[in-house]
Amino acid sequence: MRNSLVAIALLGAGLAAVLAASALDAGTQRTPPKAPVAIHKIKHVIVIMQENRSFDQYFGTYPGADGIPREANGDFAVCVPDPLKGACQKPFHDTNDLNAGGPHGAANAVADVNGGRMNGFVAQAEVARRRGCKKNPNDPICSQRSVNPDVMGYHDGRDIPNYWAYARNFVLQDHLYEPNASWSLPAHLFLVSEWSARCSRANDPMSCVNALQNPGAPPDWRGSHGVAPNYAWTDLTYLLYKHRVSWRYYVFSGTEPDCEDDAMICQSVKQGAKTPGIWNPLPYFDTVKQNGQTQNVTSLSNYFKAAKDGKLPAVSWINPTGSVSEHPPALITAGQTYVTRLVNAAMRGPDWKSTAIFVAWDDWGGFYDHVRPPSVDQNGYGLRVPGLVITAYARKGFIDHQTLSFDAYAKFIEDDFLGGQRLNPANDGRPDPRPDVRENEPILGTLVRDFNFTQKPRRPLLLNPHPQTDLH
């Protein structure tokens, strides 16, 4: 009995400590100023998330951006060690439509960054290629740059003209970081909930513990053991539902873009609105089920219909299928075509003038980037990824140098639709033991800076989904 009482006391003390820490976190972090009232001109936020590209790979040569360092004579100033050859590799213009990249789990992020030297990319790719292609030599990735990994390759406006056109005409973010230093599943958990965790008890958010690499213990989470993850901590839809803010998570039926065990090479896994997975995690959240919101995870065809009819929800997340995800072996051109069609649909619809579209890539995919990620806690940030802001109120041709992560999307949504309420265990009505309130990190910038709400709403920029490109 005495041992039980001691255990209860310790549990209570632990809970109190967690809540006290959360309250302290909320009180001591420098809370950003209130968003301007003009932010409410945005009635619809669309987050388009693609796969596995670093900033330097897509925009490392974009004029004015913090791109690949150069010498005074214009030559690239970096050369990443190549242990296999006993030399180093410089960045090169890659005109291949199919890229391979490198491994991109938590350990690979640490190795790539290498204490801030940003020089582990080639070595990590070589090791992963040798191991992965021994298991599956027929995978298309294994035929790409069989001699040298392609992680040092970059693309430019000749290769991805629509993405560069969006940057020139709207906003490019050159210091947007993956919120976590790991792979796709944790990135998508942060996108919708600001945390990646593993929970031991259903409907008990206080049973969750930090899990940067393996939330839900893939590959068994929906595999032969029938073990599904239980996401008991609080996600953003909990607050949206509480404030009667509409949301949808649109899923492109087909196959998952990534491997469920974070391997580079794997068999395809079917994906749809009714099949929870690494890119469709919301159905596994207790809050979504308890609030009767599972029907808000729906097929992509409903996005095109809502855009056309002027019935977009306040918040939309859009999840691709493997073939258009830009995750190797998906083609870059297929991803650009898909994203262009999504953007065109919003621009053609009656909601365009009140819509903000945020486009990003969920992790760096093992591709080279020269900027050391800032550290905010034990989870991140991860490496830089490309970021675009497309809206009628965008500052034309603006390059946003603020430090940003996907946490900035949540902050914008909270400021626009929730009166600034954060996913904060101290006051959001559903406490959990998350390590910090990510939206309140002092280092995190604000997306409001990318808008000029005093300007006349800009006309749509409808692009050809199949532009001329140098990729082959």
Give the whole-angstrom CA distance, residue 439 versus residue 436: 9
Q: What 8-state DSSP symbol labels residue 88? A: E
Residues 19 and 425 sit within 8 Å (Cβ to Cβ): yes
pLDDT for position 19? 40
Backbone angles phi, psi at 444, to 5 degrees: -75, 125
pLDDT for position 131? 75
pLDDT for position 12? 41
Per-10-residue mean pLDDT for the chain, 472 residues long? 39 39 41 80 98 98 98 97 94 96 94 98 89 61 63 98 98 98 94 96 94 71 59 97 98 64 46 76 95 96 96 97 91 96 97 98 97 97 98 98 98 98 97 98 98 97 97 96
Give the whole-angstrom CA distance, residue 367 versus residue 96: 14
- β-pairing, 153-154 vs 176-177, is unpaired
Specify the residue for token string 């309130």. 437
pTM score over 0.75: yes
pLDDT for position 253? 79
Give the whole-angstrom CA distance, residue 472 versus residue 342: 23
pLDDT for position 330? 93
- β-pairing, 315-319 vs 247-251, is parallel
Give the whole-angstrom CA distance, residue 466 versus residue 381: 34
The pair of three-digit structure tokens given for residue 371, joined into one six-digit string: 């900027």
Q: What 8-state DSSP symbol labels residue 255? A: E
Q: Sketch out the chain's domains with CATH numbers.
A: 37-56+158-450 (3.40.720), 79-154 (no CATH)
**In terms of Cα–Cα distance, which of 399, 394, 388 is closest to 452?**
394
Measured in whole angstroms, how far is the alpha carbon of residue 267 from the centre of its chain? Answer: 23
The pair of three-digit structure tokens given for residue 359, joined into one six-digit string: 């486009």
CA distances 201 to 130, 204, 238, Å, are 40, 6, 19
3-state secondary structure at position 178: coil
Give the whole-angstrom CA distance, residue 269 versus residue 423: 32
Give the other-Cβ count within 10 Å of 472's Cβ: 9
What does 181-225 look like in DSSP terms, one character per residue? SS-HHHHHHHHHHS--EEESSTT-GGGEEE-SS-TT-TTGGGSTT
